[in-house]
Chain A
Amino acid sequence: EDQVTQSPEALRLQEGESSSLNCSYTVSGLRGLFWYRQDPGKGPEFLFTLYSAGEEKEKERLKATLTKKESFLHITAPKPEDSATYLCAVPPIEEYGNKLVFGAGTILRVKS
């Protein structure tokens, strides 16, 4: 069973068109949910960590929120430079330690 599911797989937006990306998870006793941004041919760049339901974090046009079952990455008035793959990750259910299980990602394309 997938522990992390991201949707949609791909999202195309016009510049300025706000939207949200979803990350749902099945782990209990969440020990953190992580959002990363990955540009083509590069390693993921850390964006946010969320630890408890109701928590929110913001960075420029991005805001991440967390509920007991899912997290949203809200993108307000996106610009072409926001185009990237957005990955979410959680520590796995069955193991302690500091591994992360990644979702498949959402490919975001913002057109000017």
Chain B
Amino acid sequence: GAVVSQHPSRVICKSGTSVKIECRSLDFQATTMFWYRQFPKQSLMLMATSNEGSKATYEQGVEKDKFLINHASLTLSTLTVTSAHPEDSSFYICSAFPGQGYEQYFGPGTRLTVT
């Protein structure tokens, strides 16, 4: 149980283009989903919290117009990196919260490379 998928697992895009990453909870409904960014050999940095049907809450310093988050259903959240630049290259990980306790269940991550 508590399986979260992400798609794609890897993506390479050109500078200036946009990339969409999907996060799905496969066997439970997620009232809240989280998006993290992780740099090499560093811990997880929370970017934003998204609740189904409402606007995402972004952490300080995260550009909401650059990282668009949509949480259209209880099993799907998307992160769109708009007008990507090489400095956006990173490992993006989503997690889903099933609504009880505090445990979050993580997706496998998406490696974004912007050339």
Contact = CB atoms under 8 A, between A and B. Distances in A.
Main secondary structure of the interface of A (DSSP, over half): loop
Contacts of B95: 43-44
Main secondary structure of the interface of B (DSSP, over half): strand
Given A43-B107, A46-B2, A99-B49, A31 B43 contact: no
Nearest to A100: B104
Nearest to B108: A43
A103 interface: yes
B106 A43 contact: yes
Interface residues of B, number: 24
Nearest to A48: B103
A41 B43 contact: no
A49 interface: yes
Contact of B102 (A42, A49, A104): A49
B104 A87 contact: no
Given A44-B106, A98-B32, 19 more contacts: A31-B102, A34-B102, A34-B104, A41-B109, A41-B111, A42-B108, A43-B93, A43-B95, A43-B107, A43-B108, A44-B44, A44-B93, A91-B102, A97-B32, A97-B49, A98-B102, A100-B102, A102-B44, A104-B43
13 contacts: A32-B101, A34-B103, A34-B104, A42-B108, A44-B106, A45-B106, A49-B103, A97-B32, A97-B49, A98-B102, A100-B46, A100-B102, A100-B104
